[in-house]
Every structure is written in structure tokens, then in C-alpha cells.
Amino acid sequence: MASPISFDVLVVGSGASGLAAAVSAERAGARVAVATKGSLQACNSAKAQGGIQAAFGDDDSPDLHAEDVWQSSHETANRALVTVLTSEAPSAIHWLEELGVEFTRENGGYRLARCGGASRKRLLQVGDRTGHAITKALREAWEAGSGTTLAGSPLATLEQRANGWRATCGEHVVDAATVVLGAGGRCFKEAAERGELSTNHPNATGEVTRIALDLGAEARDLDALQYHPNGGAWPENMQGYSIPETTRAYGAVLLNADGEEFTESLAPRDVVSQAIFDEVGKGKGVETPDGRPAVYLDTTRISQDDAEISLPYMLRRYRAAGIDPLREPILTYPVLHYQNGGLVIDEHAETTLDGLFACGEIAGGTHGRNRMMGNSLLECCVFGRRAGLAAARN
């Protein structure tokens, strides 16, 4: 066995949550290591396009944001966590700006979009590469510090000892006073097992949750997996692509085979996904050339200006595949996207085990059984920061 290397804090995973925790723990004075399965860049967070929620509108407030989360969760979220999420959202945005994220602006303020389930325009964006911009800034902040990166080092075992934790991460044996789990969800693996499409990165396989459960950590809502209402259904190379929900915020609507609108396009995600399943079930869907079910997303209703400012990446991808979404509707169908539930945490992101923290998609409670779009990147930043700070002080 390799000789153990020692740190104050071990962070597992290098998505937005893990990186936010690592930066925050290091800035609090801890000696920190990040152990991650692949490269530092490999994660779901970098794939996020749509945006991140925070109440900045004149007609908005953290309380209204919290109420929208509560309603979208069908009153299943943990209200204490929701209050932390929405009240710290503006400061998390300013923290990201200090790290170099440049949110799209207009008329002297942020360009805000309304997302499914929201009562106000609240979604900040960096074009349609928001997750890429956030993870890049966090990664650069992490790499500018003196922390240790253990890439290609998946967590395989974790054991509680008298004075902290011992982990095996790839070839490394790591001792740490505290551990932050930021290893994401399991939708890639789940979709593969069901023979379905997923928006997720191949590293989203969920074994770290299993390790924590085996140690006795509590979890909630693990059965509540979320479908993204608008997976790409055609052309073939766009299958599983998550069409940004901002297409609907900027005017796109869902149409059945007869060209009729069959649902409120900006309802919460589970409602929109179910409406699509039902419409197809009634025989009112369309079929892709390879025989998959689909409905139309009429993206021709998006203005050229909105598309160019807020959807340039989506436009490029479809146009490269031979379809111009501003000239013809695109084919869409729900795809497996997000693990709503996860490890139970408190307001400082500590699990039910002392000295073991969890943040981001691996944690449960903040969204209850149904997450609103734009609140996951937010959760990663708000609870990642909190986890890092608490783990450093523990």
C-alpha cells in the first residue's frame, strides 16, 4: 500500500460543487486535496448551459425565489436549506464575478430570463455556456492556490478513524480531518441501465453516494430522478443533448403532431415532461427518422436577437447538424438528467456523519423531489462554499 498523504480537507470531485468547496476551504487556511475520477475538467457542471438563478430583478426577492422552489418541489424541499440557497444567491453571484465570471448584461443590469416554475425573471446567463464559464473560473482559482490535485483518482474506499478519515483514491491513500463529497449524481449510469438517453457526463455513476450510505449516512428522495423536458431527439448526433430551457424562456413552445400547443411551456420540469409523455401516449407525438418518440419544440418563435445573445452555442450545434432552429421546429423528448435527492445535509452541508460533508447534486433536500432549472449551479456554489468553510474549521 502507498504511504498515506495527509491533508486537513479532502474534496472528492471537481465539478462546480467540489471546486467551490476546495477554493473556499483553501482560502480559509486549510491544506486541501481534490481527488477526482478523471481530469479536473471532467464533470456535468461544465456542460450546463442555461444559467443560474438569483433574485436580482426589481420585482423579485429571495423570499419569492424560495417560494418558487417550495412550490416546484411540490412542498417536499427542506425549507431551511432553501432559505440558505435563495438568500445567499446574490452573494454567490458576486463571488463568481470576483473569480472572473462575466454574466451577460443588458440595460445596465443582468440579462434575466424566466425559467420553468419561476414567478419572476431570475436566470442569469453567460450566453449559453454558463456552466463552462463558472467551472473555468473556479478551476483557475483553485489552480492559482497551493492545493493538491489528484486527477485520475476515483474514491474507492472511505473509512472513519479516530482523528478523521482515510480514503483510497486511485493509487493514493489519503488521510484528512474532514471530507467533502462533491461527486455528483448517477443519471449516466441509471440511463445506461434503463436503455435510455441521458444528458449526463459518463462520470455520473453514483458510487460515492453508495460509499457514504454504506458508512451509515442518511439519504432522502434517492428515487426521485428528473427528466429534462427537452432532450434533443433528432438529428442523431443531437440525441441526449440538453436543449437549454432558455429556448422556452425566450418564446419557444411545445407542439404536438397537429401543431397544437398542449402544455404551459414554462411549467415546472416534471409537469412539462409528463405532458410530453402523455401527449405521445395519446398518439399525438411524432416519430424521429430512427423511430423514437418526439414532439416539436417550435424554436422559430425565438427572436434573432435573443437567440444570438442567449443561445449561440445551441444555434451553432444545430446548424452544424444541418437544422436551423430559427427556421424550423426541432424534435425533442424528455431525457434523464438530474438526481433530485441525495445525502441528507444540514445548513453547513454536513451529512449525518461527523466531519463528512456533501454538496451539489450528491446532496438532497434543497430541491425536494423536483428541482427548478438554474438552482443546481446555484446550490453547488452556495453549499460548496459553505461545505469548504465548515470543513476547514471543523
Residue in the block written with cell 481534490: 34
Of 8, 15, 190, 369, which lies in the binding site for ligand FAD, with binding defined by CB under 6 A?
15
Number of residues interacting with ligand FAD: please give it, by CB under 6 A. 45
CB-side neighbour CA atoms (13 Å) of 359: 37
Q: Answer yes or no whether residue 131 interacts with ligand FAD by CB under 6 A.
A: yes
Identify whether the C-beta of residue 211 lies closer than 8 Å to the C-beta of residue 159: no
Which of 122, 248, 269, 386 is flagged as catalytic?
269
Of 376, 385, 387, 391, which lies in the binding site for ligand FAD, with binding defined by CB under 6 A?
376
Q: Answer yes or no whether residue 204 interacts with ligand FAD by CB under 6 A.
A: yes
Q: Name which of 15, 323, 32, 311 is nearest 150 in CA terms.
A: 32
Identify whether the C-beta of residue 269 lies closer than 8 Å to the C-beta of residue 229: yes
Of 6, 27, 38, 321, which lies in the binding site for ligand FAD, with binding defined by CB under 6 A?
38
Give start and end residues of each alpha helix (H) in 162-311.
187-194, 207-215, 246-249, 269-281, 304-310
- How far apart, in whole angstroms, are the C-alpha atoms of residue 293 and residue 287? 5
Q: How far is the CB of 14 from ligand FAD (least distance, A)?
A: 4
**Closer by beta carbon to ligand FAD, 96 or else 208:** 208
- How far apart, in whole angstroms, are the C-alpha atoms of residue 329 and residue 325? 6
Q: Answer yes or no whether residue 380 interacts with ligand FAD by CB under 6 A.
A: yes
The residues in 258-317 that bind ligand FAD, with binding defined as CB under 6 A, are none
- How far apart, in whole angstroms, are the C-alpha atoms of residue 326 and residue 361? 33
Q: Are strands 123-124 and 164-169 parallel, antiparallel or unpaired?
A: unpaired
Per the annotation, the verdict on 269 as an active-site residue is yes
Of 227, 338, 357, 383, which lies in the binding site for ligand FAD, with binding defined by CB under 6 A?
338
Q: Give the distance from CA 392 to its chain's centroid.
A: 24
Q: Answer yes or no whether residue 360 interacts with ligand FAD by CB under 6 A.
A: yes
Q: Are strands 342-344 and 219-220 parallel, antiparallel or unpaired?
A: antiparallel
Of 14, 78, 209, 332, which lies in the binding site for ligand FAD, with binding defined by CB under 6 A?
14
Of 86, 104, 242, 340, which lies in the binding site for ligand FAD, with binding defined by CB under 6 A?
242
Q: Answer yes or no whether residue 203 interacts with ligand FAD by CB under 6 A.
A: yes
Q: Which residues are catalytic?
A: 269
| Residues found near ligand FAD in the complex (CB under 6 A) | 12-18, 35-38, 42-45, 47-52, 130-131, 154-155, 182-184, 199-200, 203-204, 207-208, 242, 338, 360-362, 373-377, 380
